[in-house]
Amino acid sequence: MAQPYVKKDDDRDEEAEYSPFLGIEKGAVLQEARVFNDPQLDPRRCSQVITRLLYLLNQGETFTKIEATEVFFSVTKLFQSRDFGLRRMVYLMIKELSPSADEVIIVTSSLMKDMNSKTDMYRANAIRVLCRITDGTLLTQIERYLKQAIVDKNPVVASAALVSGIHLLQTSPEIVKRWTNEVQDAVQSRAALVQFHSLALLHQVHHILIGECNEPILCKWRNPSGSYLKLNFDDISSGNTGLSVVVDALLEGLNNSGPVPEDNFLNIRQNDRLAVSKLVTSLTRGTVRSPLAQCLLIRYTSQVIRESGVNTQSGDRPFYDYLEGCLRHKAEMVILEAARAITELSGVTSRELTPAITVLQLFLSSSKPVIRFAAVRTLNKVAMTHPMAVTNCNIDMESLISDQNRSIATLAITTLLKTGNETSVDRLMKQITNFMSDIADEFKIVVVEAIRSLCLKFPLKYRSLMNFLSNILREEGGFEYKKAIVDTIVILIRDIPDAKESGLFHLCEFIEDCEFTYMSTQILHFLGIEGPKTSDPSKYIRYINNRVILENATVRASAVSTLAKFGAMVDSLKPRIFVLLRRCLFDSDDEVRDRATLYLNTLRGDGSVVETNKDVKDFLFGSLDVPLVNLETSLKNYVGDLPGSLSALPVTSSSHMCMIWIQEPSEEPFDIDSVPKEVKSQPLAEKKGLGKKPTGLGAPLSGPASTVDAYGKMLSSIPEFSSFGKLFKSSPPVELTEAETEYAVNVVKHIYEGHVVFQYNCTNTIPEQLLENVIVIVDASEAEEFSEVSSKPLRSLPYDSPGQTFVAFEKPDGVPAVGKFSNMLNFIVKEVDSTTGEAEDDGVEDEYQLEDLEVVAADYMLKVGVSNFRNAWESMGPDCERVDEYGLGVRESLAEAVNAVINILGMQPCEGTEVVMSNSRSHTCLLSGVFIGNAKVLVRLSFGIDGPKQVAMKLSVRSEDQAVSDAIHEIVSSG
């Protein structure tokens, strides 16, 4: 049916659209597959059909179980044909179909016949197919042939068997292990890839063997003749014969050219080290032909180095000479592999690094993009740990800034920004300026972020960096890119006081010609807060007023607010601001006029210059202290039942004024104080999530305290808790119930100097129930230092409307008391009639067990970062320093241990030191925080991990108070 149409299409547009598979359809091809069953096989036709089937599979088409079985059975018929090409396609097809165990039996005999064929190609392919589809039982039958194949004189056959062995090792290790003799022979094959494959297999066999024998072995390395290496193993014959076979065969077989140090006694606790290092020792001295095998050997060597550590006798690293020698190999992939292995050595010294850096530097000017990329990527990594070692390459790196490949250019720039010193910043900036014009926005953002950290590193260089930012701000760019720049400027203004004036000026320039309304309003808001505090606020007025004249209504409205803020803060500007605001009274937009009117009245714009009172400032700068969601609900309720015409209603409270449009004035005005200040748990959790991100404009200068502020305000409005003083910390919500239970409860721990308040956020998820007098009964018997002082029950908890109940505890002042609390939710249940929604009058008292809650040491620690840890550390001084070492026992990995300690302390990791490089054997982590009692604490953690994953940690604490330093140590030693 599709055929005629396709034909026509062909005629019309043959060159552009021709494809032998045009209009191909699964059903039709499956029909065609019937030719496989013909008594007279046409090999060419069959090959074509298989190709068509493979094409379908390749395009993502799937066969049903029945279809696949049918195709499989007919394909097996094709083993009758002697056509070579067809046989190859049959092999491919069988591999694609992955037949199930019962189907495999059908082809086994055919494949086994091919395995013993005289034709090498048949043997090689049959081995690969059979090993792929077979299971353990069948494997024992063909094992003999596979062992033969490994030592086959044809490299293709040998490789096929070896590669299959590598894969089979994962499913049937016990069988593959028995092949070590043959594999051992294959290592000496003259064919490069056979050597590569046998080396890979041999190494993996070792890994399997390692798991099996654990007794320590004393071995002796001797070099009696100067050309032959002999090993004596004690114990080994009693243990695992496999290992001795491997190692013996390995050493017998390989001719070793170099001499071995005389009578080195090594007492090695673990066999893996022994076996692999034997393998590596012998091979690194022999000849390895294939570059791939050489790369493999380098990987194994670095593994041995990792596991053995620096030689205790001479202080030399074993095998370093071999790695260095590989840097002079003729194949580039080997050079790269060796250079990378050297840079990744744990605790690598600059002397060891130098030769590797030198070859990578040469790579930087290669004509091949892949080589340049590999080199710059490796150097970029080195720059994170050893910036000084990379500085030699800076000249070459700078030329890569203009590289055609943008990944290379970006890597080069970020490397330069990492290694750059204070003096080179200016030159670098010039280079980057040229580069910025012709890269995509996504790369530009990476660069802007790198510049942000560079500027925080070298605050003195803010001038040139700020200039750079203002230049790129003026150029073309999308919203995300511009936002990244503006965010960076805002952060610099915040962290570098000197940069404030010029930064604000650049932002003013930017909004003169900014196409993004969102960004203009954000900058105007920021300007309103920061501008009045500068030395000469008047110079910003022009820019702001330009917005009032030239922009759209949204920007005009926020410009009016900004003007008002200047008016409120700077008395000398007040008369001029009033003139400008009065002009706005004639604006075409309601919102702008309203704001102008409001501000004129608030600031008493009747001409008289008076001191702006605190309320007005609060009003202009403070944030709304009721959650917007609650305000909205209350207003809806208030307005809801009032029909009639529109009119405005002013709402007042001590520090807020709102204008509300309602349909008819109500008898009594809306009282904003009636809006509940208790926050629903859900929105707050979201807010918390957002607050964590260090966005520039999104989070104004108030910093990370915003959630604590919100909680603080809410709690201080509850009379029972108002006497507790200032809220120190609020934890993120901890769930006390499983998801989807009848009642969902989570708890927020609020920590005060001498009190702890638990805020239980409860949600009733049963529509037929109304809960009343909800309270959590807390059993503090496992928290001796705490005593309950008060609680605030929740009067009513209707369906799906979260509410809070509180319990307050007293604890010793300023002491990080810890304890465990068990919780029981206690309430009165009332049935709700689902039709009327009315609750019945009588309720039943009921309770609901919640999970336990713990107050831990981390609850007394505020995560507060420092921008420059070293400075902070130095300025804190060693007066109250305490250093101690701890063994953390066996850990899964270094990263896991680091995270565990960070979590126990609950401190803020600084300078990205919470990230542990994979494979590293040691790590230093910097933490900062504020401990209860407002004591600043800085912590430097040094971790080390050894072979059996024993982790040791050195903990240095500096704080303003010896007692606090001691407390931190106590937390760690008890955690």
Name the nearest CA neighbour of 272 among 203, 181, 341: 203
Q: Does 135 bind another protein (CB under 8 A)?
A: yes
Q: Where are the alpha helices (H) located in 98-177, listed in sequence order?
A: 101-115, 120-133, 136-150, 155-168, 173-176
Q: Does 120 bind another protein (CB under 8 A)?
A: yes
Angle between helices 962-974 and 894-905 (to 10 degrees): 130
Q: Which is nearer to another protein, 297 or 451 (CB)?
A: 297
Selected from 26, 45, 207, 969, the binder of another protein by CB under 8 A is: 207
Q: What are phi and psi of 748, to 5 degrees?
A: -115, 130
Q: Does 136 bind another protein (CB under 8 A)?
A: yes
To which H or E segment does residue 662 belong? Answer: strand 657-662
State the nearest-atom distance from the C-beta of 851 to another protein, in Å: 20
Please report the sign of the dihedral spanned by the C-alpha atoms of residue 598, residue 601, residue 607, residue 611: negative
Q: Does 18 bind another protein (CB under 8 A)?
A: yes
User: Which tokens belong to 716?
Assistant: 């201080």
DSSP letter for each residue of 597-661: HHHHHHTT-SS---PPPHHHHHHHHSPPSS-HHHHHHHHHHHHHT--S--EEEEEE-SS-EEEEE
User: Can you tell me which residue has the tokens 């609900």?
Assistant: 633
Q: Which of residues 367-386 bind another protein (CB under 8 A)?
A: 367-371, 373-374, 377
Site stretch for another protein (CB under 8 A), options 141-149, 239-247, 333-341, 950-958: 333-341
Q: Which is nearer to another protein, 52 or 483 (CB)?
A: 52
Query: CA–CA separation, 589 vs 591, rounded Å?
Result: 6
Q: Per-residue string for binding with another protein, 91-110, x by CB under 8 A? A: -x--x--x-xx--x------
Selected from 231, 266, 268, 333, the binder of another protein by CB under 8 A is: 333
Q: Which is nearer to another protein, 197 or 418 (CB)?
A: 197
Q: Does 886 bind another protein (CB under 8 A)?
A: no
Q: Per-residue string for binding with another protein, 609-628, x by CB under 8 A? A: --------------------
Q: Does 155 bind another protein (CB under 8 A)?
A: yes
DSSP letter for each residue of 808-832: EEE--TT----EEEEEEEEEEEEEB
Site stretch for another protein (CB under 8 A), options 134-142, 580-588, 688-696, 790-798: 134-142
| 3-class DSSP assignment, residue 353 | helix
Query: CA–CA separation, 38 vs 83, rounded Å?
Result: 15
Site stretch for another protein (CB under 8 A), options 177-185, 205-213, 489-497, 691-699: 205-213
User: Which tokens belong to 427?
Assistant: 């030159």
Site stretch for another protein (CB under 8 A), options 84-92, 579-587, 753-761, 785-793: 84-92
Q: Which of residues 44-73 bind another protein (CB under 8 A)?
A: 47, 50-51, 54-55, 58-60, 62
User: Can you tell me which residue has the tokens 């909680």?
Assistant: 711
User: Which tokens belong to 366?
Assistant: 């290669």
* Site size for another protein (CB under 8 A): 83
Selected from 3, 11, 40, 82, the binder of another protein by CB under 8 A is: 82
Q: What are phi and psi of 656, to 5 degrees?
A: -130, 150
State the nearest-atom distance from the C-beta of 101 to another protein, in Å: 5
Q: Which is nearer to another protein, 59 or 652 (CB)?
A: 59
Pairing relationship of beta strands 755-764 and 743-751 according to DSSP bridges: antiparallel
Q: Does 88 bind another protein (CB under 8 A)?
A: yes
Q: Does 186 bind another protein (CB under 8 A)?
A: no
Q: Which is nearer to another protein, 36 or 300 (CB)?
A: 300
Q: Which is nearer to another protein, 59 or 722 (CB)?
A: 59
Label residue 427 exposed, middle or buried (CB < 10 Å: 0-12, 13-18, 19+): middle
C-beta of residue 758 within 8 angstroms of C-beta of residue 859 = no
Q: Does 204 bind another protein (CB under 8 A)?
A: yes
Selected from 31, 80, 109, 170, the binder of another protein by CB under 8 A is: 170
Q: Which of residues 209-248 bind another protein (CB under 8 A)?
A: 210-211
Q: Which of residues 282-321 bind another protein (CB under 8 A)?
A: 291-292, 295-296, 299-300, 303
Q: Does 741 bind another protein (CB under 8 A)?
A: no
Rg of the chain over Cα atoms, rounded to whole angstroms, equals 38
HEC string of 711-732? HHHHHHCCHHHHHHCCCCEECC
- 691-708 burial by CB neighbour count: b if 16+ within 10 A, else e? beeeebbebbeeebebbb
State the nearest-atom distance from the C-beta of 207 to another protein, in Å: 4
Q: Does 156 bind another protein (CB under 8 A)?
A: yes
Selected from 177, 197, 811, 936, the binder of another protein by CB under 8 A is: 197
State the nearest-atom distance from the C-beta of 570 to another protein, in Å: 51
Site stretch for another protein (CB under 8 A), options 203-211, 588-596, 716-724, 823-831: 203-211
Site stretch for another protein (CB under 8 A), options 403-411, 730-738, 740-748, 933-941: 403-411
